[in-house]
Amino acid sequence: MKNKILKLKKEKNAILLAHYYTLPEVQEIADYVGDSLALAQAAATTDAQIILFAGVHFMAETAKILNPTRKVIIPDMEAGCSLADSCPADDFAQFLQNYPNHTVLSYINCSAAVKALSDIIVTSGNALNIVSQFPVDENIVFAPDRNLGAYVNAATGRNMVLWDGACHVHDQLNADAVFDLKQRYPQAKIIAHPECKATVLALADFVGSTAAMLKFVSSDSVQEYIVATETGIIYEMLNQNSQKVFHIVTTDQSCSCNDCEYMKKNTLTKIEKALRTETPEIKLDENLMVLAKQPLLRMLEMGR
Ligand code: 13P
Ligand code: SF4
């Protein structure tokens, strides 16, 4: 299957972009593996004819918006995102009516329609940097992730109005589970993704995006880590740090509840089929793409 995909990729001048949360065998054959920010940047600049996006739907939409002349295909249209789903565009438009004169910042984990209602997009990799560039007294609405929003508020001394959304994978991780692991492995440092609850982040030695966590463990001298995020990241952590030990935080030792089931829908079989048939393809309304592109371009500009 891997050889078939590699051959098709070459024949069709396609690039395979994969998020760190996808299955190890997918990351292994991807042209580029990254976090949301790096993947958006890669999608914006590629000259490949086809972008095959092994991630989730909003990421593939973002690729199409940033590089509309490319054909963007996704292995499974059902690869959604609970965080993006927690902010329906109609409800958000209504919510914004309560906040005139507010700058609207949205986390990239949202639909194209929510992006179109936003002034600027951020990712977990650049949110602190971008929010810090606004005056302290700027009125800001932040959507859809209440945990990331609260983290940015605390870290930058802002008081952004938060939409009440969350990622089911990160939001279910709790401080007790982190604390238990720390009791068992006191020498380990705790690292966490900012989509986790404040009670988890309060215990962390380092908080950062997927790519930032990877960079942290690779440059840090400690040998052992307690990792509060989605399980897929462990593959690349071990790739880069084979001598280090990682303990993933789970809600229940008998389940892999912090596997993002949407990311795991990107199997090799579906990737091969998507590439062979060039479907399903991401198609978006032209006007919507124009509206959603502005806040994304602002992000790429301000996040530089
Ligand atoms: P990053 O890729 O920005 O770290 O976000 C994590 C995530 O949940 C992606 O959906
Ligand atoms: Fe969405 Fe959470 Fe899955 Fe990321 S991990 S794609 S935020 S559901």
Domain regions of the chain by residue span = 2-80+263-284, 83-167, 169-248
Return the residue whose CA atom lies nearest to atom 7 of ligand 2: 167
156-161 own/partner pairs: CB under 8 Å, 24+ apart: 156/128, 156/131, 156/132, 158/131, 158/134, 160/105, 160/131, 161/99, 161/102
CATH number for region 83-167: 3.40.50.10800
> Quick one: which atom of ligand 2 is closest to the CA of 195?
7
Distance from the alpha carbon of residue 237 to the mean position of ligand 2, in angstroms: 19
Residue 258 — pLDDT band, cuts 50, 70, 90?
confident
Cis peptide before 68 (omega within 30 of 0): no
Residue 182 — pLDDT band, cuts 50, 70, 90?
very high
What is the number of the ligand closest to the CA of 171? 2
Binding site membership of 62 for ligand 1 (Cβ less than 6 Å): no
Distance from the alpha carbon of residue 209 to the mean position of ligand 1, in angstroms: 7
- What is the pairing mode between strands 161-162 and 120-122? unpaired
Strands lying side by side in the sheet with 189-192: 206-207, 189-192, 224-228, 245-248
pLDDT over 80 (residue 156):
yes
Tell me the pLDDT of the chain averaged across its residues: 96
* Cα separation, 27 vs 9, whole angstroms: 15
Distance from the alpha carbon of residue 137 to the mean position of ligand 2, in angstroms: 31
Cis peptide before 280 (omega within 30 of 0): yes
Return the residue whose CA atom lies nearest to atom 7 of ligand 1: 36
Question: Identical fold at 2-80+263-284 and 83-167?
Answer: yes
What is the number of the ligand closest to the CA of 230? 2
DSSP letter (8 states) at residue 282: P
Binding site membership of 123 for ligand 1 (Cβ less than 6 Å): yes
Distance from the alpha carbon of residue 8 to the mean position of ligand 1, in angstroms: 28
List pLDDT tens digits, range 107-150: 999 999 999 999 999 999 999 999 999 999 999 999 999 999 99
Distance from the alpha carbon of residue 196 to the mean position of ligand 2, in angstroms: 11
Strands lying side by side in the sheet with 71-73: 32-34, 14-19, 50-54, 71-73
CATH number for region 169-248: 3.40.50.10800
pLDDT over 70 (residue 253):
no
Binding site membership of 124 for ligand 1 (Cβ less than 6 Å): yes
In angstroms, what CA-CA distances link 43 with 34, 38, 61?
11, 9, 10
What is the number of the ligand closest to the CA of 236? 1
Distance from the alpha carbon of residue 268 to the mean position of ligand 1, in angstroms: 21
CA atoms within 13 A on the CB side of 50: 22
The residues, ordered by sequence, that sit 6+ positions from 164 with a Cβ below 8 Å of its Cβ are 86, 146
Average pLDDT over residues 217-246: 97
Of the candidates 178, 172, 120, 114, the one whose C-alpha atom is nearest the C-alpha of residue 144 is 114
> Quick one: which atom of ligand 1 is closest to the CA of 37?
3
pLDDT at 132: 97
List pLDDT tens digits, range 5-25: 999 999 999 999 999 999 999
* Cα separation, 119 vs 218, whole angstroms: 35
Class of the CATH-defined domain 2-80+263-284:
alpha beta
